[in-house]
């Protein structure tokens, strides 16, 4: 075991769960929750902070500011505590109480937005609050996970190579889409080095990321109410949208097998199973093509005990029928709820970002 002197130096990056015994598919789950921040966001947080330090933007007396639905906020709280920075997280009312208390325990200041923007939802309202904070204090530094090339670069350097090493026979990679940092970093890596691997983005119903209609979402993590500027759809082969009811069913089915994962894990597992069933057969009549697929679990489930795993919350937020309907089967989710989609048309939300984004990867590749 390694010996460390800073909390952010420890991160388990080579743990995979074989889901085939549970769901009948050669689907493997890369577990990213075993670090002191409790999620995959520690990777991006480390990269973005390192870039800000190297550029001289972040230094003594600076206060980090970031908009986050939870996990990035915790990751930056850990880094700020380890490095001696101040940190202010702007979140919203969907962020669960455990996550807010965790950030505050690390010494972070937390601002909770309670009203969504009329057209851009909670994310739009959070970003506006961040910009107001920056305008009022020049010592505040916004890393901006929605625009920072470091968000994707972290996964190009770490997450994707770890998957490639473990699975030389990989056919399909499923990645949840939030800020799309993980998605873009992994997609670019495999497009350059293993182009035969199909990259499928998994998003939440109600997210506008891939051009779908906006709708209320209760579970933080995946999905956005503002199209991510990092997103380059040319690197994505297909998309799957998952209803939150199926997210809950998948999480609870995994728990019945002894695995307590967060909400985003339920989303990607549900989406992966449905997509594989539709693309490669469901086994009916003995017909089913076998492929090797991997998806990524961003975090563990302890922070979701008052939501995804709480019957009253599920009943009040999503409906009581979820608690009595069927769970996951080999073919996906009993009762449907997933929507298969083609990629929406459109370019990057920020025109200048593409050049900066490519330049960052050219530095690594070259």
pLDDT of 282: 66
* Rounded mean pLDDT, 221-240: 90
CB-count exposure of residue 118 (10 Å: 0-12, 13-18, 19+): exposed
In angstroms, rounded to a whole number, what is the distance separating the alpha carbons of residues 47 and 166? 23
Q: 340 or 43: whose pLDDT is higher?
A: 43
pLDDT at 78 over 90: yes
Please tell me the predicted confidence (pLDDT) of residue 351. Answer: 40
The confidence band for 224, taking pLDDT boundaries of 50, 70 and 90, is confident
Decide: residue 354, CB within 10 A, 0-12 exposed, 13-18 middle, 19+ buried. middle
Average pLDDT over every residue of 115-138: 91
pLDDT for residue 16: 98
* Dist CA 199 CA 294 (whole Å): 10
Average pLDDT over residues 82-110: 93
What confidence score (pLDDT) does residue 346 get?
33
Instruction: Tell me the pLDDT of the chain averaged across its residues.
Output: 87
Q: The pTM is what?
A: 0.87
Residue 314: the pLDDT is 93
pLDDT at 358: 55
Average pLDDT score over residue span 248-258: 96
Q: What is the pLDDT of residue 28?
A: 98
pLDDT tens-digit readout, 158-205: 999 999 999 999 999 999 999 999 999 999 999 999 999 999 999 999
pLDDT for the residue 343? 34
């Amino acid at each position: 075991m390694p010996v460390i002197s800073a909390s952010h130096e420890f991160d388990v990056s080579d743990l995979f769960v074989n889901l085939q015994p549970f769901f009948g598919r050669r689907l493997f789950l890369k577990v990213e929750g075993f670090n002191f921040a409790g999620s995959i966001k520690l990777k991006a947080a480390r990269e973005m902070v390192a870039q800000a330090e190297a550029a001289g933007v972040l230094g003594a007396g600076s206060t980090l500011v970031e908009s986050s639905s939870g996990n990035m906020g915790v990751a930056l709280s850990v880094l700020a505590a380890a490095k001696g920075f101040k940190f202010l997280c702007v979140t919203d009312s969907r962020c669960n109480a455990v996550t807010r208390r965790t950030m505050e325990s690390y010494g972070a200041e937390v601002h909770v937005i309670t009203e969504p923007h009329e057209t851009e939802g909670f994310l739009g309202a959070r970003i506006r609050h961040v910009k107001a904070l920056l305008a009022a204090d020049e010592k505040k530094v916004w890393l901006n996970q929605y625009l920072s090339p470091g968000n994707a670069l972290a996964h190009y350097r770490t997450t994707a190579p770890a998957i490639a090493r473990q699975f030389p026979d990989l056919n399909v990679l499923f990645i949840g889409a939030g800020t799309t940092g993980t998605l873009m970093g992994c997609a670019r890596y495999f497009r350059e080095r293993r182009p035969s691997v199909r990259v499928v983005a998994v998003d939440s119903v109600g997210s506008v990321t891939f051009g779908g209609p906006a709708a209320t979402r209760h579970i933080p993590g995946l999905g956005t109410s503002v199209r991510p500027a990092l997103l380059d759809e040319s690197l994505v082969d297909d998309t799957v949208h998952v209803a939150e009811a199926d997210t809950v069913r998948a999480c609870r089915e995994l728990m019945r097998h002894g695995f307590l994962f967060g909400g985003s894990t339920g989303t990607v597992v549900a989406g992966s199973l449905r997509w594989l069933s539709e693309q490669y057969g469901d086994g009916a009549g003995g017909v089913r093509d076998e492929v090797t697929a991997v998806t990524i679990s961003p975090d563990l489930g302890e922070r979701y005990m008052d939501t995804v795993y709480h019957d009253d919350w599920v009943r009040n937020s999503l409906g009581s029928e979820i608690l009595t309907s069927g769970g996951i089967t080999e073919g996906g989710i009993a009762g449907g709820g997933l929507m298969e989609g083609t990629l929406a048309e459109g370019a990057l939300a920020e025109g200048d970002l593409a050049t900066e984004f490519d330049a960052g990867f050219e530095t690594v590749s070259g």
